[in-house]
Structure 1
């Protein structure tokens, strides 16, 4: 029997409704699962949704003005409510996985959301420390920290956090068929600190974490300079790359040639969650130009995790 997948349509003024509808209409998605969309009814109808396509759970944006796509409190409130509904229904067993279209952090802030983004919301609601991962073809990257100002990074990066994230990363890769994954952790400082000359985070935090992880049986190398770590990973010399901050992972991941769109997924939650690795794209919203390939991949990857 095909699994039921709940797609939340994201910010109603962004491209989320369009990519959600296009993904639900995709033959590959329809062969793999039974999609259902939760989101703003008017935005989804404008994007091409019909009752014949898939079920719709209406979460409408009160006072939504679609004439100029932009961050709004109404859009933030609607997209937040859709995610909260999705979490509830997936945890109740009504759906096998949750696939989330992009939200606007600015819209959530305008709506006074309790958390700034999806992963922060999952962390707060589930009282657990999840792992943010990205997969693009054979490339797998995970983040030790997420949407954090660079100036705060040195305080957030601890030995305990690195160990926790690496263990989650290994478990996540095992779930997609890598029985003994080879991990590499990126260094924080240029040239991996050059023996402490350019910073001591490698000596004081990362090397002790790697030693502890090896003691627990993980196959992990590093800390390696990020450029060298990425070159080796793209050459197939590691199965997963643990980056220390957002752009250390996302810039190489998205600019590497080939391999199609990236999928963002979350590990360590009591349910499966995936998402396309792009934003709301307000600049092209409502024009029918949005590429749904990332959303399609996110749905198909969720099905893979179910199996």
Structure 2
């Protein structure tokens, strides 16, 4: 019998709820049922978090990776020892916590590219803290793409029966429309089609969401559908990709409609994430498509307002670990 895959879990912002959901996830679900989990983070922070939660989780630091060292009765931490509990204030933004969170990601990607781990699951980071630390990225997705030299990449959210891929991600709404181009839409369609093989769906049924109300109403409410979306869709259809649309977004995401598709391509962040989080908030999973490594993440942020209070829900992290353990990296 083959050993379970090793999945690295980056600890996220140490001042947020990342350490807490890792401890709770290990306790409540025992990640070891799906994989051999390895936390990339700081041993002291995790031990302090366990004490504050009143748990007796056995946590041990390691400096090398070997399948023989994993055990269901202890949580292993690849200890970077890059921050101390006294360096941060739980629930507060700081450059120190942003720097530590970035370094966990760097190590996780390094291990995944070297095939030391099957993939990585990222606990939440704070984008402001990341920028204070000197890493001007809008989020995990863009940082991971640079670290892995990925040229074509996209964010997918999975929740309930929905899989949704975004054409644009973290942008002010006023900047979305200029980014909805023929090339960007076609690139996202091709990437989505190819990436669905990682979910064992080689011929997916793809729905394309419209950008404008009523799918533009023949150009009365916007021309992006006629000028960009439809030409990109028709070009993809010529290559055998099973995509239809563009469908008005106000009806596409209802279950009776969305269940007819394996994946939906949305134009912008809130268009795609609102239906996912309505369907499965706290259990949804973020997946980065187009990377040469498996990467999943939680559907929430650092939640500074509840950090350190024992209130965080590990549900999304549990689902992210399960998915990472069974996903295949591109090319599939």
> TM class, shorter-chain normalised?
over 0.9
Residue 286 (structure 2) pairs with residue 270 (structure 1): no
Q: Distance in 1 between matches of 2:246 and 2:45?
A: 46
Q: 1:34 to 1:294 in 2, by over 3 A?
A: same
Q: Distance in 1 between matches of 2:264 and 2:256?
A: 7
Distance apart, 1:198 and its partner CA: 1.2
Aligned residue number for residue 75 of structure 2: 54
Is contact 1:62-1:74 (8 Å) kept? no
Residue 96 (structure 2) pairs with residue 74 (structure 1): yes
Aligned residue number for residue 322 of structure 2: 300
Q: 1:66 to 1:77 in 2, by over 3 A?
A: closer
Is contact 1:63-1:74 (8 Å) kept? no
Aligned residue number for residue 140 of structure 2: 118
Residue 196 (structure 2) pairs with residue 194 (structure 1): no
Residue 84 (structure 2) pairs with residue 84 (structure 1): no
Distance apart, 1:179 and its partner CA: 3.0
Distance apart, 1:68 and its partner CA: 4.5
Q: Distance in 1 between matches of 2:275 and 2:112?
A: 33
Is contact 1:185-1:229 (8 Å) kept? no
Which of 196, 218, 225 does residue 173 from structure 1 map onto?
196
Name the TM-score, length of structure 1 as normaliser: 0.94
Which of 43, 46, 49 does residue 44 from structure 1 map onto?
46
Aligned residue number for residue 103 of structure 1: 125
Distance apart, 1:138 and its partner CA: 2.1
Matches within 5 A, 1:121-132: 121-125=143-147, 126-132=149-155
Aligned-residue RMSD, C-alpha: 2.0
Q: Distance in 2 between matches of 1:283 and 1:90?
A: 32
Distance apart, 1:63 and its partner CA: 7.9
Aligned residue number for residue 10 of structure 1: 12
Which of 266, 273, 279 does residue 243 from structure 1 map onto?
266
Q: 1:285 to 1:259 in 2, by over 3 A?
A: closer
Aligned residue number for residue 282 of structure 1: 304
Aligned residue number for residue 250 of structure 2: 227
Give deviations 1:160-179, integer Å, cap 9, x for gaps: 11111111112222321223
Aligned residue number for residue 255 of structure 1: 278
Distance apart, 1:127 and its partner CA: 3.9
Is contact 1:186-1:229 (8 Å) kept? yes
Q: Distance in 1 between matches of 2:30 and 2:204?
A: 29
Distance apart, 1:259 and its partner CA: 8.8
Q: 1:64 to 1:150 in 2, by over 3 A?
A: farther
Structure 2 stretches lacking a partner, 5+ long: 51-56, 61-72
Distance apart, 1:21 and its partner CA: 2.2
Distance apart, 1:5 and its partner CA: 0.8
Is contact 1:24-1:53 (8 Å) kept? no
Distance apart, 1:61 and its partner CA: 2.6
SS at match of 1:70: coil
Is contact 1:264-1:274 (8 Å) kept? yes
Q: Distance in 1 between matches of 2:28 and 2:118?
A: 19
Distance apart, 1:14 and its partner CA: 0.4
SS at match of 1:13: coil
Q: Distance in 1 between matches of 2:100 and 2:89?
A: 17
Q: 1:137 to 1:232 in 2, by over 3 A?
A: closer
SS at match of 2:218: coil
Q: Distance in 1 between matches of 2:177 and 2:89?
A: 43
Q: 1:259 to 1:64 in 2, by over 3 A?
A: closer
Q: Distance in 2 between matches of 1:53 and 1:112?
A: 35
Structure 1 stretches lacking a partner, 5+ long: none
Name the TM-score, length of structure 2 as normaliser: 0.87
